[in-house]
């Protein structure tokens, strides 16, 4: 199969997906595999990563799994080496999906939670991007898609650390685009609104009135519903092939930031 977007054989493309064990990451692994990518499915949850890789293979794709804490540069490098040994080639696409959050204002945020959120959501992206960029530079091509959030563009109540980390993701992404575009590399951030996921379910489970909290989250999108992981995954797949998109903060929020 030929990828008319890049003029390459789709089976030669290798995608690394972090946070592939659930939610947007899981859906992204499936969407990219459907587009012909071989997928390295990475997650801190070994069972989740295996489940994602197995689902890709069950649908006729190629995928391997790696348990990895993306904050650990050495662990991520080992996962990349495993895929290189398997497919004899470096990744052509990095989709940084792994992320966490805490519900708290600045004064309520525990410093340890601040470090953890910034570590997973931002510092880990520095490590993963830094790991894949040399081979992309050598190849003269490559794509990075970082999952940010509308919370990186506007303030959201009780999400101080999360907002700060996602604003940093957008800044890092644009910096990579500025530094590496002339070497054939594209970097874009995708900024979802509220997406129905395991993380949202966990937040709602701690609410005094989960149903009311869910309705509030749904109502802040113009069409009165949360997005789905599959919708965001389709956005990531779009950015993987959108050759004239570089350094963008691509918003998919159901109109949340339109008003």
Query: Which domains can be identified in the chain, with CATH numbers?
Result: 2-192+230-252 (3.40.50.720), 197-226 (no CATH)
The 3 state secondary structure assigned to 29-95 is HHHHHHCCCEEEEEECCHHHHHHHHHHHHHCCCCEEEEECCCCCHHHHHHHHHHHHHHHCCCCCEEE
Token output for 196: 């129905």
Pick from 4-13, 129-138, 215-224: least confident: 4-13
Q: What is the pLDDT of residues 8-37, one digit of tens each?
A: 434 589 999 999 999 999 999 999 999 999
Over 90: is that where the pLDDT of 4 sits?
no
More confident residue, 196 or 152: 152
Q: H/E element holding 241?
A: helix 229-241
Q: In sequence order, what are the beta bridge partners of 64?
A: 40
In angstroms, the CA 130 to CA 20 distance is 20
Q: What is the pLDDT of residues 225-254, one digit of tens each?
A: 999 999 999 999 999 999 999 999 999 999
| Residues with catalytic function | 162
Q: Which of 251, 231, 247, 248 is nearest to 30 (CA)?
A: 231
């Amino acid at each position: 199969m030929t990828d008319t977007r890049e003029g390459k054989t789709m089976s030669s493309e290798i995608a690394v997906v972090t946070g592939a064990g659930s939610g947007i990451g899981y859906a992204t692994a499936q969407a990219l595999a459907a587009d012909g990518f071989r997928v390295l499915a990475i997650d801190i949850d070994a069972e989740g990563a295996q489940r994602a890789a197995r689902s890709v293979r069950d649908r006729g794709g190629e995928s391997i799994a790696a348990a990895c804490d993306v904050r650990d540069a050495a662990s991520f490098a080992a996962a990349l080496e495993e895929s290189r040994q398997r497919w004899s080639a470096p990744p052509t696409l990095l989709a940084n999906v792994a992320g966490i959050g805490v519900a708290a204002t600045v004064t309520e945020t525990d410093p340890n939670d601040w470090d953890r959120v910034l570590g997973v959501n931002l510092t880990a992206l520095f490590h993963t991007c830094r790991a894949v960029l040399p081979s992309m530079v050598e190849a003269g091509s490559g794509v990075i898609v970082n999952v940010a959030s509308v919370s990186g563009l506007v303030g959201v109540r009780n999400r101080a650390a999360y907002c700060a980390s996602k604003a940093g993701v957008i800044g890092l992404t644009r910096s990579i685009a500025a530094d590496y575009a002339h070497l054939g590399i594209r970097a874009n951030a995708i900024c979802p609104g509220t997406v129905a996921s395991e993380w949202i379910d966990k937040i709602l489970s701690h609410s005094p009135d989960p149903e009311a909290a869910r309705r509030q989250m749904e109502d802040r999108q113009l069409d009165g519903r949360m997005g789905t992981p599959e919708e965001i995954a389709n956005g990531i797949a779009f950015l993987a092939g959108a050759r004239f998109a570089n350094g963008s903060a691509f918003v998919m929020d159901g109109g949340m930031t339109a008003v």
